[in-house]
Structure 1
Amino acid sequence: MNESKPDLSSIQQQLEGDHKKRRALPPVHLWKPDFSGDLDIQITRDGRWIHEGGQIKRPAMVTLFSTILWREGERYFLVTPVEKVGIQVEDVPFFFVGLDVRQGSQGQELVFTSSTDDVVVASAEHPLRVETAQDSDEPSPYLMVRYGMEGLLNRAVFYQLADLAEERDGEFGVESCGQWFVLGKS
C-alpha cells in the first residue's frame, strides 16, 4: 500500500490527457491497483461532488472523475491504473437531469442524460426502478448506469417520465427498448 496520502490533483493529471481526446470510458474494470487510502470526496444525493467541504465547481473535472468511478460491494472508489482511492456516496453516484424520447428498432427508447454527461437508454441492460420511502411514500427513481452503479432521476425528469406512463394490469409504467418498467401501482 502506498504510504502517502491520496491526492486529487495526481488523479486528475493521470486522466486529463486521454479524456480530452475522446468521451470513451476508461477500462476501469481492467485496472487492479492496490488501495491507496480514502480521499475526502463525497457525492451528494443531488449529484454534487464535495471535496474537503467545498463543492467542486468545475463541471469538466467532475465529469472526468465520474468516468473512473468503481463500486465494490457497498464502497465506491476512483480508480486509475496505479491508484484506487475510496470516496463517500450519499445515495448513488449519478444524477439524471434530462430525458429524451426517440424511436428505435424495438419501439420507444427513453434516453437519460446525467449531470456528468452520461447518456443511458433504459433497457434490459440499464433497468429503471422506483423505490418508495416507507415513512413518506416519496418515490425515488433509479437507472442502472454501469458497473453496478445507479443514478437517481431528478424530480423534473421523474415528472416527465410520469407523463409518459400508461396503465397495465394495475400498474403504471413506461416502455423502453421493448422492456416494461413499473413506476407505481394504480
Structure 2
Amino acid sequence: MGENTDKSVSDAAGIAAAAGRAAKDGPPPVHLWDPPFCGDLDMEIRADGTWFHEGTPIGRPEMVRLFASILKREGDDYFLVTPVEKVGIRVVDAPFVAVDAEIGADVVFITNVGDRVSAGAEHAIEMRGTPQEPRPYVHIRRGLWALIDRKTFYRLADAAMPDENGRMELHSGGTVFPLEP
C-alpha cells in the first residue's frame, strides 16, 4: 500500500459516517467508486476475522459490518472506499470468516459479518494449503474471500461424496468443489 499523501488520512469515524450515508439504499456499490487514495488507516483484519483499529479490537459488530460493506480489493491491497476517499488497511489472511453453513441441495455460507452466499460458480470454494493442513475458502464478492472455519469445514467434509478416484467433493449451485488441496 502507498504512503500517506498530502491529504490527512481520515479517521475511522469519518469513514464509518460516509459508509452509513452510502449504504442507506442497500449494499454500497464500491466496485463503481474510484476516489483518490488518501493514505493508510491504522486498521487491520486479523486471520481470525477480528478487526482492529489503532491496535484495539473493534467491539461493535455493527461497526465491523459497516466497514466490511465498503471493503474493496485491488490486486493484493485492501481499502475502505467511500464515494470521495479511499484508505488502505491491512488484511492478514482473508477479510472474512465463514462461521456457519446451511448444507442441503446447495451450501449457503454465513460469514462473521453477516454475508450469506450460496456456493456455486460465482461463489467458489477453493482449497489452499497442503493435504496435511488444508485451508478452505469461499469467494464472497469482488475478490473478497472468507476462510471457512474448522467446524464448518468438518460439516462440509461430512456432506462430501467421493468422486471416481476417491477424492472427496462437494456439489453446490451446479458446481463440483474438491475438498482436498
SS of 2:180's partner is: strand
Question: For the residues of structure 2 that align with 1:17 and 1:80, how far apart are their CA atoms?
Answer: 9
The residue that corresponds to 1:10 in the other structure is 14
Question: For the residues of structure 2 that align with 1:169 and 1:88, how far apart are their CA atoms?
Answer: 42
Alignment of 1:153-168 (within 5 A): 153-168=148-163
Provide, for residues 53-91 of structure 1, a one-character-per-residue CA deviation record: whole Å limited to 9, x for no partner: 110000000001001111111000000001100000001
Query: Are 2:176 and 1:180 equivalent residues in the alignment?
Result: yes
Amino acid aligned to 1:100: E
Alignment of 1:1-186 (within 5 A): 3-19=7-23, 21=24, 24-102=26-104, 108-133=105-130, 137-170=132-165, 171-184=167-180
Overall identity of the aligned pairs, in %? 44
Q: What displacement does 1:16 show?
A: 2.1
Q: What displacement does 1:17 show?
A: 3.9
Gapped runs of 5+ residues in structure 1? 103-107
SS of 1:184's partner is: coil
Kept in 1: contact 2:108–2:119 (CA 8 A): yes
Question: For the residues of structure 2 that align with 1:162 and 1:5, how far apart are their CA atoms?
Answer: 45
Q: Which consecutive aligned stretches of 4+ in structure 1 deviate over 6 angstroms post-superposition?
A: none
Q: What displacement does 1:133 show?
A: 3.5
SS of 1:46's partner is: coil
Amino acid aligned to 2:28: P
Q: TM-score, normalised by structure 1?
A: 0.90
Question: For the residues of structure 2 that align with 1:36 and 1:2, how far apart are their CA atoms?
Answer: 8
Higher-strand-fraction structure:
1
